[in-house]
Amino acid sequence: MTSQTRKQALVWGGLLIFFGVITLLETFTDLTAWTWVALLAAAGLGVFAVYLTDRSDWGLLIPAYVLWAIAGLIALVTLGILLGEFIATYVLVAIALPFLVAFLRDRTNWGLLVPAYVLLAVGVMVGLIGVGLLDDLLIPAYVMFAIAIPFFVAYARDPQQWWALIPGGIMAFIGLSFLIAEAAAQYVVPVVLIIAGAWILVRMLIRGEPADVVRPPAPEPAGPEADEPPELT
């Protein structure tokens, strides 16, 4: 058995025993919220200490992070800092952070940004709804803009990926239409279409061939006699 396998067995076995013990304690005694915070934080610290013995085994950071995140959640709820929708925001952001950190460690794994961005976008949306900044048509507008942003970022990083402007522009236009009142939207959409059509026509006229101009006929070439120099007498 390798050293890393032994450490992982030690960590997971120890965590199972740990949760079994505190579950029994909860059965016989009513553990307070702060007791749970202390136990979870201590368990996370123990796992992190095992990780420090060999930092190549970065997988041990996952249980340590999860334990600390849960301890932080219980502490913030107990203090009354996290209420209602913000609990969901905290959970989503906490799940997104490991993906973001993993990308920052190795930026070739850009696929890790996808779940991180989705979780962060949803978490922010839930939080904004909780404080009342997002409601009614602003919610679908936020969703459309959140979908459009990655396409614009892809184009900004590589302008040759011009196709990204098509879905990004469509999503952004739909989001913009939600920002406008429904009564105004029925006028804005036709006006935008008319402007777009006029722009295409004007561009075609500017780039088109110039009108035919009547030019005088080209002079006929001189005869062979004209090409010969005059004879000297």
The model carries a pTM of 0.63
Give, for all 233 residues of the chain, the pLDDT tens digit. Answer: 566 677 777 778 888 888 888 888 878 887 888 888 998 999 989 888 888 887 777 778 888 888 999 999 999 999 988 888 888 889 999 989 888 888 888 878 888 888 888 889 998 898 888 888 887 778 888 888 899 988 888 888 888 888 888 888 888 888 887 777 544 555 666 666 777 777 777 777 776 544 444 455 555 555 555 455 555 54
114 and 149 share one domain: no
Phi, psi of 13 (to 5 degrees): -65, -45
16 and 66 share one domain: yes
State the total domains in the chain: 3
Would 12 be classed as within a structural domain?
A: yes
Compute CA distances 220 → 35, 59, 71, 182, 230, whole Å: 108, 89, 98, 71, 21
34 and 52 share one domain: yes
97 and 147 share one domain: no
14 and 72 share one domain: yes
Structure tokens at 179: 């920002």
Place of tokens 């936020």: 142
Would 217 be classed as within a structural domain?
A: no
Place of tokens 């939600």: 178
Phi, psi of 105 (to 5 degrees): -75, -35
2 and 50 share one domain: yes
56 and 103 share one domain: no
- 39: Cβ contacts below 8 Å, ≥ 6 apart: 18, 22, 31
Place of tokens 């839930």: 126
Question: Angle CA(69)–CA(95)–CA(165) in degrees, nearest 5?
Answer: 150
69 and 2 share one domain: yes
Q: How far apart are CA 142 and CA 123, in angstroms?
A: 12
147 and 203 share one domain: yes
Residue 72's pLDDT is: 92
Which domain does 63 fall in, by range?
Answer: 1-82
Would 222 be classed as within a structural domain?
A: no
Can you point out the beta strands (E) in 142-214?
Answer: none
Would 113 be classed as within a structural domain?
A: yes
Contact 15, 43 (CB under 8 A): yes
Q: How far apart are CA 15 and CA 21, in angstroms?
A: 10
8 and 76 share one domain: yes
Phi, psi of 181 (to 5 degrees): -60, 150
Compute CA distances 224 → 174, 217, 230, 231, 233, whole Å: 74, 21, 12, 14, 21
116 and 130 share one domain: yes
Residue 7's pLDDT is: 74
Would 61 be classed as within a structural domain?
A: yes
- 64: Cβ contacts below 8 Å, ≥ 6 apart: 44, 45, 47, 48, 51
Would 231 be classed as within a structural domain?
A: no
Q: How far apart are CA 184 and CA 178, in angstroms?
A: 10
Residue 75's pLDDT is: 92
